[in-house]
């Protein structure tokens, strides 16, 4: 699908949100069971197993108590009702965890999370949904968990690859290496073109994050330019809600960037692991990120990729920080091939960006609005199976009002996020992110 300003000649290309996965759905209410199966089928999942009681669920999971021969499970994810006729979802989840099965679990119940929070933590559930829930909410949570599992498996394989390379010629930085005074103490993740480490400065004992371009990527001119661009942008910025630049350099011809270490999670992971965000935390994050983007815009910089994944949240200090400044023609979430095709999930993109227009203050504001909507409701404003369908929704449809999903949030927030930030026309959006900040300050004052 080539992005031309004229748009209509777009070819539909299916967004590969997930591979074929087998999902187990357990609920003793036949209506709810059929409803969940239909939601998942509509979301593209073809292989769905069902069970209406604990015995059938244990058998599907290969966890048959008191039987000598257990069947190896082929389940990739389980959706479990809390209340079942012969057991409960907590107990099934505990059995999954104690058996060391790598199966993400979503528990569903009519109870509020506050009533069963301790049990959710004890059993090790990955996510929780309160009945009734929207189709988009369920399908989004399922896809997030499966993507997270896929990334974990990828990280593990990459770690093994690193170990092998290390044993052969040590051409990849490894735990214990000292790179210009920064000692690697842990691996934080792997990207398409870079590696991220937790490091400690040898002389000061302070902890930082180090992002390094991989050896294979230094041969790609666009990857190198993008990395250098990120270093240049971060080195210019100094703001409490922007991940702080510390240092940069080269190691074995690979450029690296040292930045502050945020002891927390990105907001996408927060939603997956902790569920509904408290109103107070949401308002705090909304203001912090508006302030960060406002600072970027003052310096004539457009982030172009505002999304949950690029916002780090320190749970201890409740501070939110904007990250990932590898700005190119298209956001990081859109993998652009040489043929101009786009694959990925552009769920935060402004309609005009789909049309091939350049990023502006208003396109960042739209992405900011879409990110806030996802954070507070638990679902993106729009979900679709093809990029063309997604574009049409961004261009012509309005997402459900926030207060219909989160009635504990004042309706004025829907005006700011949906009516203003997510306005279809750029002229109808706030003129600046500073204007958004002032609006949030008014909402905070009114609430207090």
To 10 degrees, what angle do helices 279-298 and 433-447 make?
150
Q: Is the same domain home to 71 and 176? A: no
Domain-located, residue 389: yes
Domain CATH number, residue 256: 3.30.200.20
* 48 within 8 A of 37, measured Cβ to Cβ: yes
* 435 within 8 A of 297, measured Cβ to Cβ: no
Q: Is the same domain home to 51 and 121? A: yes
Domain-located, residue 158: no
Q: Is the same domain home to 285 and 422? A: yes
Domain-located, residue 152: no
Q: Is the same domain home to 233 and 292? A: no
Instruction: Say how many C-beta atoms besides its own lie within 10 A of residue 233's C-beta.
Output: 18
Domain-located, residue 14: no
Domain-located, residue 309: yes
Instruction: Say how many C-beta atoms besides its own lie within 10 A of residue 214's C-beta.
Output: 16
pLDDT of 426: 97
Domain CATH number, residue 134: 3.40.50.2300
Q: Is the same domain home to 254 and 201? A: yes
Domain endpoint, select from 235, 260, 285: 260
Q: Is the same domain home to 34 and 182? A: no
Residue 24: Cβ-neighbour burial (10 angstroms; 0-12, 13-18, 19+)? buried
Domain-located, residue 2: no
Q: Is the same domain home to 304 and 216? A: no
Q: Residue 84: which domain range? A: 22-146
Q: Is the same domain home to 408 and 293? A: yes
The series of mean pLDDT values per 10 residues for the chain, 448 residues long, is: 35 43 91 90 90 91 62 83 89 89 89 69 83 80 83 62 45 83 86 84 96 86 86 92 96 94 90 87 97 94 90 92 69 36 60 86 96 95 81 94 95 97 97 97 88
Q: How many domains does the chain have?
A: 3
Question: How many whole angstroms separate alpha carbon 301 and alpha carbon 230?
Answer: 11
Question: How many whole angstroms separate alpha carbon 259 and alpha carbon 237?
Answer: 12
Q: Is the same domain home to 323 and 245? A: no
Domain CATH number, residue 416: 1.10.510.10
Q: Is the same domain home to 90 and 239? A: no
Q: Is the same domain home to 286 and 398? A: yes
Domain-located, residue 93: yes
Domain-located, residue 5: no
Domain endpoint, select from 260, 279, 296: 260
Domain endpoint, select from 228, 260, 292: 260
Q: Is the same domain home to 185 and 126? A: no
């Amino acid at each position: 699908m080539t992005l031309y300003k004229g748009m209509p000649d777009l070819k539909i290309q299916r967004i590969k949100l997930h591979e074929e996965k087998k999902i187990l759905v357990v609920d003793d209410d036949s209506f709810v069971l059929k409803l969940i199966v239909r939601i998942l089928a509509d979301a593209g999942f073809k292989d769905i197993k069902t069970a209406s009681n604990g015995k059938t669920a244990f058998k599907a999971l290969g966890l048959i108590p008191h039987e000598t021969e257990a069947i190896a499970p082929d389940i990739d994810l389980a959706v479990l009702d809390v209340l079942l006729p012969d057991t409960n979802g907590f107990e099934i989840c505990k059995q999954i965890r104690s058996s060391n099965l790598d199966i993400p679990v979503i528990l569903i119940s009519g109870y509020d999370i506050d009533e069963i929070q301790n049990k959710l933590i004890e059993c090790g559930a990955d996510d929780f949904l309160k009945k009734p829930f929207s189709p988009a909410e369920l399908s989004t949570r399922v896809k997030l968990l499966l993507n997270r599992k896929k990334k974990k498996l990828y990280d593990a394989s990459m770690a093994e690859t690193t170990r092998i390379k290390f044993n052969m010629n040590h051409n990849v930085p490894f735990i214990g290496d000292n790179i210009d005074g920064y000692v690697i103490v842990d691996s934080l993740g792997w990207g398409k073109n870079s590696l991220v480490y937790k490091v400690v400065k040898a002389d000061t004992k302070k902890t930082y994050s180090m992002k390094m371009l991989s050896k294979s990527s230094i041969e790609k001119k666009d990857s190198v330019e993008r990395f250098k661009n990120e270093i240049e942008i971060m080195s210019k910025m100094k703001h409490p809600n922007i991940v702080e630049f510390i240092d940069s350099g080269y190691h074995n011809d690979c450029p690296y960037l040292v930045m502050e270490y945020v002891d927390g999670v990105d907001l996408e992971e927060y939603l997956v692991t902790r569920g509904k965000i408290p109103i107070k935390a949401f308002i705090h994050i909304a203001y912090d990120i508006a302030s960060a983007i406002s600072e970027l815009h003052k310096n004539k910089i457009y982030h172009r990729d505002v999304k949950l994944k690029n916002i780090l949240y320190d749970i201890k200090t409740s501070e939110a920080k904007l990250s990932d400044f590898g700005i190119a023609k298209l956001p990081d979430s859109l993998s652009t091939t040489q043929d101009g095709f786009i694959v990925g999930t552009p769920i935060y993109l402004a309609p005009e960006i789909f049309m091939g227009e350049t990023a502006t203050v208003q396109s960042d504001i739209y992405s900011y609005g879409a990110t806030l909507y996802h954070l507070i409701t638990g679902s993106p404003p729009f979900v679709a199976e093809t990029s063309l369908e997604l574009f049409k929704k961004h261009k012509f449809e309005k997402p459900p009002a926030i207060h219909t999903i989160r009635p504990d949030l004042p309706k004025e927030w829907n005006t700011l996020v949906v009516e203003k930030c997510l306005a279809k026309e750029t002229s109808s959006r706030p003129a600046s992110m500073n204007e958004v900040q002032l609006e949030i300050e008014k909402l905070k004052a009114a609430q207090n």
